[in-house]
Amino acid sequence: MMGLWPVIFPPQDWTPRENQNGRPEDSIAAAPRRQATRPDSGQPNAQANETPQITQASFEPYRPIERASDGYVQGEACRECHPGNYESWHDSYHRTMTQLADPAIVMGNFDGQTVETSDASYRLLEEDGICWAELPTRILSGNRGPNAGISRVPLVMTTGSHHMQVYWFPLAAGRTLGQFPLVYLKEAERWVPRHSCFLQPPGDPPGIEAGRWNNTCLQCHTTHPKQKLSRDFSFDTDVAEFGISCEACHGPGQAHINYRRQDDGQLRRAEDPIVNPEHLTHEKSSQTCGNCHSITTHLQAETRNEGHAFRPGKELEASRHLFRINERSKAELQRRGQNPEEFFDASFWPDGMVRVSGREFNGLIESPCYQQGEMSCLSCHALHQQTDDQRDTKLWADDQLAMDMRSDQACLQCHNTTDYGPQHTHHATASSGSRCYNCHMPHTTYGLLKAIRSHTVSSPSVQRDDLQAGRPNACNLCHLDQTLQWTADHLAEWWKVEKPGLLPAQQEVAAGAIWTLTGDASIRALVAWHLGWQAAQEVSDADWMSRYLIELLNDPYDAVRYIASRSLKSIPEFASQDYDHLADESQRKMRQAELIKRWNAGSAAGQRGTQPRLLIEAGRISQGTWNSLRKLRDETPIFLDE
C-alpha cells in the first residue's frame, strides 16, 4: 500500500493548436511529422509538414506496455493445450481488470456528450478509433492554474469492467498515466466523479492522480508488473500482461512449456515447474490469492521496479509485509512515515477485522476454519467454471463461486448438517436466518458501493461487535427493526452469551434506526445497503425502511446517497422515484421533502401503524426523539481504502 503520487511535472496538453505556419499542430511527440521526399530529387515535397494521422499506436511510447520477461509468456500461450481453462479465464473479470481503451471494449458513452459536475464540465467523444476527453486545463495542473482553458486528452487505458470503469491518459513524462476524473458506473449507466464511487469525505477537488496507476493500481490489476520509477519521478512501466492472467495464479509459463515440449522419449528427471493452486496446501493456495487480495507492502522497495518477488507456491510473507493491527505493523508503518492510526482506520475495524473489499485474504487468515482447519479460497471459489456447471457464465463470473457455494453447502463440506439444524440456528430451516453465511459471514465489509460478506468467520456478539468494534452485529443486520437489547437477550438465552450493559436508547430503539441516525458514514453506508436487502426487508417489514432511506438521501457522502437511493427503489412504493444523488444540495432537499410528503401520505392511509422502537407513532415519525438522535450523528471523517 503506497500513498498517492503527487503531480510533480506538468501534464502534457494534447490539444491541437495552430503552428507558426497557421496549420493545426498536435503536441504528440510520439507522432513526428513525416519528412516525405520526391522520388526524383530526394528533397522534401510540399506535404512534408502535414500532420500525420493519430492512431492508438501513436500513444504507445507514452503508456505502459506489455513485455514478456522473466519466464512470463502471456495467457495466449496456454490456449493451445488448455483451451477450456483459457476460455473460462477469458470470460472472467480478472482478464479485463486492465485493458487498452479500444472503443470496442470501453463501457462509457463517447458519443460527444457533455457531463456537468459541481466542479467542472467534461466532454467525451470518439474520433478515428480513439476515445478523447475534454476537460478544464486547471485540472491537468492540479487545480492550481487559472480557471480558464480547455484541454483534450486521449484515454489510452482502462481499469475495471465488472462494476465500474476508470480511464487513464498519458502525461508525456515517460509512461506515466493520469486518471480521468470521471468514472463510468456500470449499474447506473452514467458518468460520475471518481470521488463519488468511494467512501471518502466530501469536498475533495477533482484531480488526475498522476502516476497512481503506475505506482499502485498495476500491483494487483496486471500480471508481473514493473513500475520502473526513474530519478526524475516519471515511470517507464511495463507488465507481462494487462489484467490478471493465467501466470498470476500458476507462475511464469515458459519453463512449463519447455518441459512439456521435450521429446516424449526423454526421461523427465525434474517436476513440472508450473504451479496448480489446487494441489498446494490450503495456506499456500490462499497466499496465491493473497498476492492481490490482501493489505500488504513489499519488503524490498526495489522489487516494485524489478517485478514482484512472490511466485505461486512460495511463502507470501517472504517478500511482503502483511498488515494487521499489531505492534509489528505499527512499527512498519512508522518506518515508512505513515500514520498507523489513519492507516488502520481506513482498512480495519478496531478489533482487527478487515472492513474493505478486495482484501479477503486478511479476513480468511483470522478465521478458525483457516487456522484450525483447511479452509482456503478454493473451498468456495472456482477460478475456472466447472464443466458440469450449468449456470450462465456471467453468473459464475460475478463472484467466481463454485456450484452450490451460495448455499449452506459451503459450510457443510466440513460441518455435519445434523449438528446445525433448527436446534442450532433457532430459525426455520428454509428461512434466511438459518443460512450459515448470514450469521457467520455477515455483510460487514464495504466496497464497490455495496456491503460485502466478511471473510472472517465469526459468531454474533453485541459486546464484541457493536460495543467494542463499532461494527453492526449479524442478528440486527437482518432484524433491523429490533433493538440491541433484543439481540443480547436472545444470544444469552440460546448460546449463553453474556449480556452487556446497554444505554437506554440501545434498549428501546431499533438498531436500524440508531445506526441510520447516529452512525458514522461507514455505518450509514452499510445500513443503507441492508435496508434494501431482501432478507432484511422480509424479516423486518419494509414499510418503515423507506422513511429512513429518505433521510439518507441528503447525506453529506455521495456514496451513502447513492446506496440509499438504490435501496429505496427496491421498495415497491418508491420503485419509480426519480432522484439524482449528484444533484446540488438544494435540489436534493427539495426532492427529499417531496418523498417525505409521499411517505406521510402513506401513513395517513393507514400503512404505517405504530412502532415505538422505530420512532413511529400512529403512522408519524416521533420527531422529538428522531431529532435528538440525529444530533448525535458521528461526524468523524471517513475514508475507506478499498
CB 227 within 8 A of CB 235: yes
Biggest CA-to-CA distance, the chain: 100
The string of DSSP letters for 209-269 reads: -TTHIIIIIHHHHEEEEE--B-TTS-B--EEEEESS-HHHHH--SHHHHHHHTS-TTS---
Tell me the pLDDT of the chain averaged across its residues: 90
Structure confidence by residue, pLDDT tens digits, 142-177: 876 666 789 999 999 999 999 999 999 999 999 999
Contacts of 311 (CB under 8 A, 6+ apart): 251, 252, 275
In a domain, 244, yes or no: no
Question: What pLDDT, on a 0 to 100 scale, did the predictor assign at position 112?
Answer: 96
Q: Is the pLDDT of residue 264 over 60?
A: no
Q: Is the pLDDT of residue 41 over 80?
A: no
In a domain, 138, yes or no: no
Structure confidence by residue, pLDDT tens digits, 190-208: 999 999 999 999 987 889 9
Query: Which ranges constitute the DSSP H helices of 116-188?
Result: 137-140
CB atoms within 10 A of CB 284: 18
Q: Is the pLDDT of residue 269 over 90?
A: no
Question: What pLDDT, on a 0 to 100 scale, did the predictor assign at position 310?
Answer: 95
Please name every residue paired with 53 in a beta bridge, in sequence order, or none if there are none.
none
Question: What pLDDT, on a 0 to 100 scale, did the predictor assign at position 266?
Answer: 56
The string of DSSP letters for 566-617 reads: HHHHTSGGGTT----TTS-HHHHHHHHHHHHHHHHHHHHTTSS--BGGGTEE
Query: Which ranges constitute the DSSP H helices of 441-500?
Result: 474-478, 484-495
Q: Which residue has the higher pLDDT, 264 or 394?
A: 394
In a domain, 324, yes or no: no
Mean pLDDT of 542-551: 95
Structure confidence by residue, pLDDT tens digits, 367-423: 999 999 999 999 999 999 999 999 999 999 999 999 999 999 999 999 998 889 899
Q: Is the pLDDT of residue 19 over 50?
A: no
pTM of the model: 0.92
In a domain, 236, yes or no: no
CB 262 within 8 A of CB 37: no
Q: Is the pLDDT of residue 42 over 50?
A: no
Rounded Cα distance between 397 and 417, Å, is: 28
Rounded Cα distance between 117 and 130, Å, is: 24
Structure confidence by residue, pLDDT tens digits, 612-632: 999 999 889 999 999 999 999
In a domain, 314, yes or no: no
DSSP 33: P
Q: Is the pLDDT of residue 15 over 80?
A: no
In this prediction, residue 14 has a pLDDT band, given cuts at 50, 70 and 90, of low
Question: What pLDDT, on a 0 to 100 scale, did the predictor assign at position 597?
Answer: 95
Question: What pLDDT, on a 0 to 100 scale, did the predictor assign at position 274?
Answer: 97
Domains identified in the chain, total number: 1
Mean pLDDT of 28-40: 34
Q: Is the pLDDT of residue 471 over 50?
A: yes
Structure confidence by residue, pLDDT tens digits, 562-575: 999 999 999 999 99
Q: Which domain holds residue 513?
A: 459-642
In a 13 Å sphere around the CA of 437, the CA atoms on its Cβ side amount to 17
In a domain, 567, yes or no: yes
Q: Is the pLDDT of residue 504 over 70?
A: yes
Question: What pLDDT, on a 0 to 100 scale, did the predictor assign at position 144?
Answer: 64
Rounded Cα distance between 617 and 638, Å, is: 33
Chain centre distance of CA 586: 30
Q: Which residue has the higher pLDDT, 154 or 5?
A: 154
Structure confidence by residue, pLDDT tens digits, 60-105: 999 999 999 999 999 999 999 999 999 999 999 999 999 999 999 9
C-alpha cell, 383: 477460478
Question: What pLDDT, on a 0 to 100 scale, did the predictor assign at position 146?
Answer: 62
Contacts of 7 (CB under 8 A, 6+ apart): 141, 142, 207, 208, 210
Question: What pLDDT, on a 0 to 100 scale, did the predictor assign at position 392?
Answer: 97
In a domain, 260, yes or no: no
Q: Is the pLDDT of residue 7 over 80?
A: no
Give the Å distances, CA to CA, from 293 to 287, 363, 455: 9, 10, 11
In a domain, 443, yes or no: no
In this prediction, residue 2 has a pLDDT band, given cuts at 50, 70 and 90, of very low
